[in-house]
Amino acid sequence: MVELIAKSPVADLLPVEAGSCRLVACAPAAITAIAPYAGAEEALSQALDSAHGLALPPAGRAAGTPGARLIWAGYRQYMLVGEIAPDAAVAAHAAVTDLSDGWVVLRLEGAGTESVLARLTPLDLDPGVFKRGHTARTELAHMMAVLTRTGEGMEIMLMRSFARWGVARIAEAMESVAAQAGLPD
């Protein structure tokens, strides 16, 4: 049996620092899509709560900690991200799909992350509107993305195939914001 070696598509590009912002790679052990069967949301929420202490969050919200985060990821879809795989009981109520190698998780941290992301997404990410624990599926530099504000910064999930391009666009926006901040008044 061949031993396959997991390889991050962006590890050699990160971290990137510019101005007050820093872009780093998060490396969750697993990303699992959980899509509830029709009418099974309640039972699924209970199964997740008793197995992992995470009930299904409402639309636009994420629950949990960096090690085990349950993110609302669209219409009838959630993503379990972190160091855990879902309990077997979950599969009775939802379609469970391992997406660990399909998505890349980045984190943009520091002051002024909203200014950087304002160049890439139409979403209003003002801290008064898009608060800690809020999550959104939106467009980021023409790519599908999941944005989640956490205690550490803004977590950005991109599809693996776009990840290098995405890092380049975010780095470009970071440098642009830093350069503008350095201009004389």
Partner 1 sequence: MRITCPLCGDRDLREFTYGGAAVYMDRPGADADLDALDAYLHLRDNPAGPTEELWSHDMGCRAWLKVRRDTVTHEILGTALAAEAKRGAG
Query: What residues make contact with partner 1 under the rule CB under 8 A?
Result: 59-60, 74-75, 77, 122-123, 136-139, 144
Residue 60 or 102: the one with the smaller Cβ distance to partner 1 is 60
Residue 77 or 176: the one with the smaller Cβ distance to partner 1 is 77
Residues contacting residue 12 through CB under 8 Å, at least 6 positions apart? none
Minimum separation from the CB atom of position 137 to partner 1 (A): 5
Residue 95 or 144: the one with the smaller Cβ distance to partner 1 is 144
Residue 3 or 75: the one with the smaller Cβ distance to partner 1 is 75
Residue 22 or 134: the one with the smaller Cβ distance to partner 1 is 134
Beta-bridged to residue 18, according to DSSP, are 21
Minimum separation from the CB atom of position 130 to partner 1 (A): 11
Residue 84 or 123: the one with the smaller Cβ distance to partner 1 is 123
Minimum separation from the CB atom of position 96 to partner 1 (A): 18
Minimum separation from the CB atom of position 72 to partner 1 (A): 9
Minimum separation from the CB atom of position 121 to partner 1 (A): 9
Minimum separation from the CB atom of position 140 to partner 1 (A): 9
For the beta sheet containing 143-149, the strands, ordered from the edge strand earlier in sequence to the opposite edge, are 16-18, 21-26, 103-110, 154-159, 143-149, 135-140
Considering only CA atoms, which of 88, 94, 83 is closest in space to residue 42? 94
Exposure pattern of 52-82 as b/e (b: 16+ CB <10 Å)? Answer: bebbbbeeebbbbeeebbbbbbeeebbbbbb
| Cβ pair 114, 127 in contact under 8 A | yes
Backbone φ and ψ for 148, nearest 5 degrees, come out as -135, 125
| Cβ pair 29, 101 in contact under 8 A | no
Residues contacting residue 142 through CB under 8 Å, at least 6 positions apart? none
